[in-house]
Amino acid sequence: MVSLAPSLKLSKANYRIWAMDMEIYLDSHDLWQAIVKENVPKKKDRLALLAIFSAILEEMMTMLDAKKKFFGREILAWTE
């Protein structure tokens, strides 16, 4: 069973390291294609999404939600 709980959480100060860590993590679980390609299987897309959400601090989730509401559209297609 693949663990979908990356140890590094996105914060206000660690985006670059978090992004590198997430790319390695997703690639090692054969999920990076869900980020860089279109038309990936829905299951892989959802597993990648789960991994990303599990690697974001709650305070960052609040900020992302506020930005989504401010711009009046989805920042990412996370809710499709």
Residue ranges of the chain with pLDDT lower than 50? 1, 75, 78-80
Name the pTM for this structure. 0.73
The whole-chain average pLDDT of the chain stands at 81
Show me where the domains of the chain are located: 15-71
Question: What local confidence, expressed as pLDDT, does residue 1 receive?
Answer: 46
Helix pair 42-53, 15-28: axis angle to 10 deg: 140
| Region of residue 29 (phi > 0: left; psi between -120 and 50: alpha; otherwise: beta) | alpha
Question: What local confidence, expressed as pLDDT, does residue 67 receive?
Answer: 64
